[in-house]
Structure 1
């Protein structure tokens, strides 16, 4: 098992809240992480996979079942299959609170975010803490040498894909993952969007990784309406498969672009959708630069400090910053991401830094040394990028 950085945070939350939810896409390692956490608990644990009829049947009388296992950590996997449990959990938690049970009762795992948050926020407000498990990060794979980072970039952060014995087997795993998600998992969530339509949309997003989304172009390409495209994108974001980065909205009297940028969150899925199997395939493709940008950004944002807000900045005149981090205590970090070992910044970046009054300026690159490139900009290795935001 590759230890996950978020484990300690979840263990702390279990000492503070009656319920903790781990959200993340399928196969990202939620069940393995939950098992590792359960082994650290003083009390025994109970695991239920709500996709299994045999486990679901145990909750025919959920209150009785929870009472039978009171004092144990109860792990409920794929909770979106039984959203009716949320209202029951509220009553159980409140009843137990009067008996002196205040924390560490339920660990809830889910593969969808918005619907799950909506259900729980109505029923478990103040009783549940949320965390998100992303794919394996650069820090979690330990070795910050270029070949190791490139492997993670090529294969993505899904554990089974990253640890596959070869690039070819990793590619096959991701291809099957995509097909299963489109043909089985998404329809089970109640979506009636054709799998072929979603695959085409997902592939179009891969080709334009990290670009500003043009709803009309996507709608024309799929022969559908802009309204439908928005609904499809919301679904993919709900499933934690894409990330939407909003343009900075500061009032500076400039003509700012308004369309968000969209990234497929896992670089390995991006490469599978584009049929890029090896590092040679990837480096020879026009998407390499934007794929690297999305890979680094996802690693950084997975470490984003609570209360910080990510943006990008672009004006019609060409001033641009890949990533702005608005810090909770004030002050903006301006971050440019470059694949080159000798990064060069455009005048537009410096103009943009003045526009947003950036207090810190960085360029993240795949080298191994940290150094100044002048004009207040520090070049930092990608392996150090996550610590920058903590």
Structure 2
């Protein structure tokens, strides 16, 4: 059992807890005392509420006291949200906690998602902090940090961990995409997924992806939105002035977990190549900053930076309208001035920005104008901003 960073900041009012499959949503929320639990993973229970959504109203209105009602995997019966919205008006002191792995079907079934009456939180795979002493960077890059997978890794059950990751990918396509009828052309989506994962942590060439997987450009964009809505990944936008200009430039796409990324690539049995390790390290660190930002309610805005001449910085952290940190990710034990080219280019425009190279170094190093630090130290620095 892992203590989750989000535990101390769960809202006291009604809220949605979204998160990919197997990140521990049900485990976390079932620890909360509840008057009524609706488990929509159970086929019989799901069928009952699908046929008679009003049953939920009858059950809640029959409660003799106020408290918490927990609805697990609420996206499986979107019609329940209409009932919940009515109940929130009639029994305002009842707290509804609703978990789900996708907002996409909820939006189709209940467009206003309770009209803003419920807050949103997201649960992610395990963070470096949550793993504690069991954290091992090489293993996190190879296996990711989904709780059931990481438990097998820490028990030295590596083959079982690999099987769980392969099953995860199969179940995602079968249950999140096919069963929920998110796409009409399942083979086209599978082709897209193969192309998209090959480009993880890179800028997305939408036209190139369209050409490679033989589907239209608008369809590729819709497929990426499915990955976002089912929480399989997220975009990182380039840092440019003007929202319209930013949206017109190609973003980078990161998957939510390194183990799932490698399973999608079909690489779970081999060791990552040096090039792959660099991309996995970058993806993992960006994931960690995203999780820190959400769990600690920091309200950072995250970007990458790239010039027309190809100079790049992996991550910019904007705080209160200013760039607080410029971060280059390097999976190497020793860094030197050759690793500063992107940061040096950035400093020509933003000379006062704090520049860091995050790398698996044992001790902090000063490299010209930048500091090379380990990921644990840099995450603490960012959290303190």
Q: Does 1:168 align with 2:163?
A: no
Cα deviations by residue, 1:238-270 (Å, 9 ceiling, x for unpaired): 11101111111227xx99992111112211011
Q: Which of 220, 227, 245 is equivalent to 1:236?
A: 227
Q: Which of 113, 119, 141 is equivalent to 2:103?
A: 113
Q: Does 1:359 align with 2:353?
A: yes
Task: Looking at secondary structure, tell me which structure has more helix per residue.
Answer: 2
Q: Which residue of 1 aligns with 2:126?
A: 136
Alignment check: 8 A CA contact 2:107 2:113 kept: no
**Cα 1:330/1:115, change in 2 over 3 Å:** farther
Bigger shift: residues 257-266 or 211-220: 257-266
TM-score, normalising length from structure 2? Answer: 0.87
**Cα 1:91/1:257, change in 2 over 3 Å:** closer
| Deviation of the 1:114 alpha carbon | 4.7
Alignment check: 8 A CA contact 1:47 1:75 kept: yes
Alignment check: 8 A CA contact 1:256 1:314 kept: no
The whole-number CA distance in structure 1 between the counterparts of 2:275 and 2:373 is: 24
Q: Does 1:2 align with 2:2?
A: yes
Q: Which of 34, 38, 44 is equivalent to 1:48?
A: 38
Q: Does 1:389 align with 2:378?
A: no
> What are the ranges of 5 or more consecutive residues in structure 1 without an aligned counterpart?
none
| Deviation of the 1:88 alpha carbon | 2.0
Q: Which of 243, 258, 278 is equivalent to 1:289?
A: 278
Q: Which residue of 2 aligns with 1:157?
A: 145
The whole-number CA distance in structure 2 between the counterparts of 1:144 and 1:50 is: 33
**Cα 1:315/1:370, change in 2 over 3 Å:** same
Residues matched between the structures, number: 368
Alignment check: 8 A CA contact 1:256 1:316 kept: no
Q: Which of 16, 26, 30 is equivalent to 1:31?
A: 26
SS at match of 1:303: helix
Q: Which residue of 2 aligns with 1:61?
A: 55
TM-score, normalising length from structure 1? Answer: 0.86
Q: Does 1:308 align with 2:300?
A: yes
Alignment check: 8 A CA contact 2:237 2:251 kept: yes
The whole-number CA distance in structure 1 between the counterparts of 2:322 and 2:109 is: 33
User: Root-mean-square deviation (CA), in Å?
Assistant: 2.5
Bigger shift: residues 105-114 or 325-334: 325-334
**Cα 1:385/1:343, change in 2 over 3 Å:** same
**Cα 1:275/1:194, change in 2 over 3 Å:** same
> What are the ranges of 5 or more consecutive residues in structure 2 without an aligned counterpart?
none
